[in-house]
């Protein structure tokens, strides 16, 4: 699979490309890492804003960041004039945080040329590149493409529960170690502490550089996964608090050469809130 990442240098050289759509998919609520706080809106010039919380989440279904329905993808595509073959570059204002989530959404719905800006807005700014204060206003109502979600891209709690016995996939929980072992309280009320039985813990910050802004190198990511003794054909289900940071680890696995990856969309916010589901500490 082609790398899901592009560099700030690459974007600077291609940002004016006519068929490129630059999407700001930053979120307001950052959990699991110290957020970068901005006093005013700063963006990369030529960006459209797409909201993960509203446009790319199923707000009609109970839960946090529920994977969007087909009709929502169609609405976003029509608003911006996207097609499954459009070149899309996604970034967020934390470096690497919410862009991997948006990437997995677009990829799961069949978009072929979608990429994550490694380092996002912070790296772009740090390099002294031009910024802007307003997003572009979409003016397209075109696009008659049809979309269908890859059925293996997203797992339900039922799938994960069944996997405890079958062990067909390794469930990787990317929350901090203290939350995984129930030694730190969950940030959401009504959610139990602990983890999914037989899951393993690999905190998402482990795949990012020390400043938390970019992914580690390909060799470093391969070494990290190799240290877990995973086979190259291993199948993974990634989980976190609400399905956001799990996608960071999912992308890291793809960069490291793994292909059989999926997301437990409900993640611990769903599992920990359901007393009928088993937990371990």
- Rounded to the nearest 5°, which phi and psi values hold at 43? -135, 170
- DSSP output for 49-110: E--TTTTTS-TTSSSSSPPPPHHHHHHHHHHHT--TT-EEEEE-TTSSSSHHHHHHHHHHTT
Residue with tokens 């072992």: 181
Yes or no: say if 106 and 68 are a contact pair by the CB < 8 Å rule: no
Element (H, E) at 238: strand 235-239
Q: How far apart are CA 124 and CA 44, in angstroms?
A: 8
What's the CA angle centered on 110, arms 68 and 89, to 5 degrees?
Answer: 85
Q: Kindly name the residue from 240, 248, 261, 269 that is annotated as catalytic.
A: 240
Cα 65 to Cα 21, 48, 210, 248, 250: the distances in Å are 23, 20, 27, 15, 16
Helix (H, G, I), strand (E, B), or coil: what is residue 156?
Answer: coil
How far is the C-alpha of 8 from the C-alpha of 48, rounded, in Å?
Answer: 17
Structure tokens at 3: 């790398």
In angstroms, the CA 116 to CA 251 distance is: 10
Is 200 catalytic? The answer is no
Q: Catalytic amino acids? A: 240
């Amino acid at each position: 699979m082609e790398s899901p990442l592009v560099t700030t240098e690459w974007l600077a050289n291609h940002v004016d490309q006519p068929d490129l759509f630059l999407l700001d998919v930053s979120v307001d609520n950052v959990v699991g890492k110290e957020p970068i706080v901005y006093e005013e809106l700063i963006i990369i010039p030529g960006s459209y804003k797409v909201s993960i919380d509203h446009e790319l989440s199923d707000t009609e279904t109970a839960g946090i960041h529920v994977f969007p329905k087909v009709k929502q993808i169609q609405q976003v595509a029509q608003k911006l004039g996207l097609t499954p073959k459009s070149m899309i570059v996604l970034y967020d204002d934390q470096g690497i945080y919410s862009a991997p989530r948006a990437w997995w959404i677009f990829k799961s719905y069949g978009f072929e040329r979608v990429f994550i800006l490694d380092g996002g807005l912070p790296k772009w700014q740090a390099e002294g590149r031009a910024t802007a204060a307003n997003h572009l206003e979409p003016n397209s109502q075109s696009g008659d493409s049809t979309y269908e979600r890859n059925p293996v891209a997203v797992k339900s709690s039922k799938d994960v529960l069944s996997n405890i016995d079958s062990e067909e996939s390794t469930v990787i929980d990317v929350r901090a170690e203290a939350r995984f072992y129930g030694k730190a309280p969950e940030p959401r009320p009504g959610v139990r502490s602990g983890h999914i039985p037989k899951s393993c813990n690999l905190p998402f910050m482990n795949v990012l550089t020390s400043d938390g802004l970019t992914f580690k190198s390909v060799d470093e990511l391969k070494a990290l996964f190799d240290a877990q003794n995973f086979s190259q054909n291993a199948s993974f289900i990634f989980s976190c608090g609400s399905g956001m940071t799990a996608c960071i680890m999912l992308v890291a696995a793809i960069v490291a050469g793994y292909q059989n990856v999926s997301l437990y969309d409900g993640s611990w916010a769903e599992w920990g809130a359901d007393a009928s589901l088993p937990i371990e500490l």
